[in-house]
Every structure is written in structure tokens, then in C-alpha cells.
């Protein structure tokens, strides 16, 4: 019985690891999508430009004031102005960078690869600004954010967050090819 259980456990271990990585990819995409929705909703609520920024941090599971803009990080800040070196600031409507919300990639997004690009699909981007109508208003905004697993030899369930010029935020699956499947990018 012990031998059979051991054999079954060894056979399931690689699948379990991939399953956990897929959960991390889903969690990271949900966290980033949440930040984008917060930025858009605040822009509409305040009737002013609000920006979603991707930032990197030296701290492992929290944002610190040594943060910098990064198109390859899953940590984010929603603010009125550039949050560089102010990511750990408390939310405020008067003190720069007039931070609305922030989130570190933390454990939920560990071991995932994040890459944000403009709508051309090649040029890196670190921010997207929404105006009072919820539309994208900056000249070089994030057009999509790809969230993938770390190992190229494993078939993960990678996800993409697409941001349209009219402000629509949508999570899709880049591996889906059927034009009738709503998960298609």
C-alpha cells in the first residue's frame, strides 16, 4: 500500500507544481486587474486623471520608498502623479504623489513573469492613465500585460490583461484560438 501511494505521489508531483504555478498566474492577474479597475473607477469618481503604475520594490512582500517604475513587475500603485520613491506613502488627496491605492506582488504573484507593453506589442510601458470618462488618456499607455510562468519548458495557463483605448479592462487567454471562445484575446 505504501509503495502504491508513493508511486502515485511521485506521478502527481509535477502536475501539482504546475497547478500551483497556474494559481499564482491567476492570482497575479486578478491583483493587477483589480488595480486597473481601481484607477479607472477613481478617475470617473473624481473626474480627474488617475494613473495605474507598475513598480518594482526592493522589499520582498511590501512596497518601499526605493521603488521604481518597471514594466516587468506585478506590484502596482494607483496615484495622481509619478510614485517613484513614494510607493510606501499613505493614501492622500493632498500630498504627492496623491496615492489612491497600492499593492505588492507578494506571495500571490511569486514565481510569475509579468511583462507590460504598449498596444504595438513590443515597446515596454509602465503606466496607463484614465480620464474622468474612464478612457485611456496618456500617449504611451500599457496596452497589455502578459502574466506567464517562469519555466519555458512547462505548459502553463498564461493570461493576458488587455486595456483598450476606451478603458475596457479584460483578462484573456493567449493560447485560445477559437474565434467563438470568449476567453480568446
State how far the Cα of 126 lies from the Cα of 172, in Å rounded to an integer.
20
Of 6-20, 75-89, 145-159, the one with minimum mean pLDDT is 6-20
Mean pLDDT, the chain, integer:
91
Task: Determine the pLDDT at residue 115.
Answer: 96
State how far the Cα of 21 lies from the Cα of 149, in Å rounded to an integer.
7
DSSP letter at 127? E
49-72: average pLDDT:
90
Q: What is the pLDDT of residues 62-82, one digit of tens each?
A: 888 989 999 999 999 999 999
14 pLDDT exceeds 70?
no
17 phi/psi in degrees, rounded to 5: -65, -45
Query: What percent of the chain has pLDDT above 70?
Result: 96
30-48: average pLDDT:
97
**Nearest alpha-carbon partner for 82 in 68, 93, 72:** 68
DSSP letter at 177? -
Q: What angle do CA 130, 106, 35 make, to 5 degrees?
A: 15
Amino acid at each position: 500500500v505504501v509503495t502504491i501511494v508513493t508511486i502515485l505521489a511521485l506521478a502527481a508531483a509535477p502536475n501539482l507544481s504546475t497547478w500551483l504555478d497556474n494559481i499564482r498566474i491567476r492570482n497575479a492577474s486578478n491583483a493587477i486587474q483589480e488595480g486597473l479597475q481601481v484607477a479607472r473607477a477613481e478617475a470617473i469618481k473624481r473626474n480627474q486623471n488617475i494613473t495605474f503604475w507598475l513598480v518594482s520594490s526592493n522589499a520582498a512582500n511590501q512596497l518601499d520608498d526605493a521603488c521604481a517604475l518597471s514594466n516587468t513587475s506585478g506590484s502596482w500603485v494607483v496615484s495622481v502623479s509619478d510614485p517613484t520613491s513614494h510607493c510606501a506613502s499613505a493614501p492622500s488627496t493632498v500630498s504627492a504623489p496623491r496615492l489612491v491605492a497600492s499593492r505588492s506582488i507578494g506571495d500571490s504573484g511569486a514565481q510569475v513573469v509579468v511583462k507590460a507593453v504598449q498596444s504595438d506589442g513590443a515597446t515596454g510601458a509602465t503606466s496607463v492613465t484614465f480620464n474622468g470618462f474612464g478612457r485611456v488618456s496618456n500617449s504611451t499607455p500599457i496596452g497589455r500585460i502578459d502574466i506567464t510562468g517562469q519555466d519555458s519548458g512547462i505548459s502553463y495557463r498564461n493570461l493576458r490583461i488587455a486595456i483598450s483605448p476606451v478603458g475596457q479592462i479584460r483578462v484573456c487567454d493567449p493560447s485560445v484560438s477559437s474565434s467563438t471562445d470568449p476567453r480568446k484575446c
